[in-house]
Amino acid sequence: SGSARLAAAGRRAARARSWLCRRIPDCAGASLDPFRELSGSSVMGVRGLQGFVGSSCPHICTVVNFRELAEHHRNKHPGSAPTIVVDAMCCLRYWYTPESWICGGQWREYFSALRDFVKTFTTVGIKLVFFFDGMVEQEKRGEWVKRRLKNNREISRVFHYIKSHREQPGRNMFFIPSGLAIFTRFALKTLGQETLCSLQEADYEVASYGLQNNCLGILGEDTDYLIYDTCPYFSIGDLCLESLSTVMLCREKLCESLAISLADLPLLACLLGNDIVPEGMFESFRYKCLSSYTSLKENFDKKGNVILAVADHISKVLHLHQGEKKLEEMLPLGPNKALFYKGVASYLLPGQKSPWFFQKPKGLITLPKQVVSMSSDPEPKQ
């Protein structure tokens, strides 16, 4: 029968399926590439910052070993298990690597990959806490919609390719299967891992958890973690599971390169554009900063020089009037004042304050507790 033939074909395909060889560099040497980007990944966090760090400030990235970091943590904090907060939505692409990704369904292989991931960390005494996106906050609804529409266009191109070529497209068109985040959470719970579903913006809760619980660090792939004043940030994209080495991105070194302080990073992030403040909102302001910037670097691209110019403006112009003038008197906020203040405040973790708030704007500093549910299916960070 037709169903029997289909089942037989499925079994043959399953036997023929093989894992893609994940690049395992020699983590003990300099071959670990801190700046490799996963193909097809969407822009997450601060616009242009990932490329700037990779091409213009390589010293911000340091190869580290989790075994050594965990041992140092235990010596410094006896009785406290070294804990890594994992932004699970950033890690789906790292975990899901089957070659036959169009049809999906490789549950056993995927579960095995998750089990190996967890076992590698627990063997060296590192506790993992996984965070999944639960809600989309009101102020990020616009960005959420843009990403969903972009996802639809990418999926449409995949179907068009299959229809035209009658075969699976290359890895450059890879798209995470729908529902993978939900099933990943179930799998991790089955493996006895602690999984949490965010009630606010997931990045904020991950950063808060890491800071309040004195964690070893955050494992993810989002430049917002360079902006939060929290525990160290490690790259999942550069993780070598075999030796437990990866890249740590240091926000202190970033500040040193830009000649600004940690407290200035939220301001810089909003002026460059992030998930709350649209990139185009301060485009003309950034152009003015670039026009007046006198230390253009020839070996930097335009975006790199823009970041340097905005940071220079913060350091040499805004700092002159810090504490004397409000931000709206120094920046062209216009009707976007409330959104801009909310963007800066979104990086302030519990107990933290910003020196850029001349006085507490009514209803703007504290993030609203109300959140809006946009989807029961969390959005994977493609």
Residue 205 sits in the same domain as residue 330: no
pLDDT band at residue 378 under the 50/70/90 scheme: low
Residue 28 clears pLDDT 50, i.e. is over it: no
To the nearest whole number, what is the mean pLDDT of the chain? 83
Tally of structural domains, the chain: 2
The pLDDT value recorded for residue 380 is: 65
> Does any domain span residue 284?
yes
> Does any domain span residue 103?
yes
Residue 200 tokens read as 């606010």
Residue 127 sits in the same domain as residue 96: yes
Residue 52 sits in the same domain as residue 185: yes
Q: What is the mean pLDDT of residues 363-374?
A: 40
In angstroms, the CA 326 to CA 9 distance is: 68
> Does any domain span residue 40?
no
Tens of pLDDT, residues 68-115 = 999 999 999 998 899 999 999 999 999 998 888 888 778 999 999 999
The pLDDT value recorded for residue 331 is: 93
Q: What is the mean pLDDT of residues 139-147?
A: 81
> Does any domain span residue 359?
no
> Does any domain span residue 244?
yes
> Does any domain span residue 379?
no
Residue 271 sits in the same domain as residue 250: no
In CATH, what number is assigned to the domain containing residue 166? 3.40.50.1010
pTM over 0.75: yes
pLDDT band at residue 141 under the 50/70/90 scheme: confident
Residue 250 sits in the same domain as residue 261: no
Q: What is the mean pLDDT of residues 321-325?
A: 82
Can you give the residue range of the structural domain that contains 317? 257-345
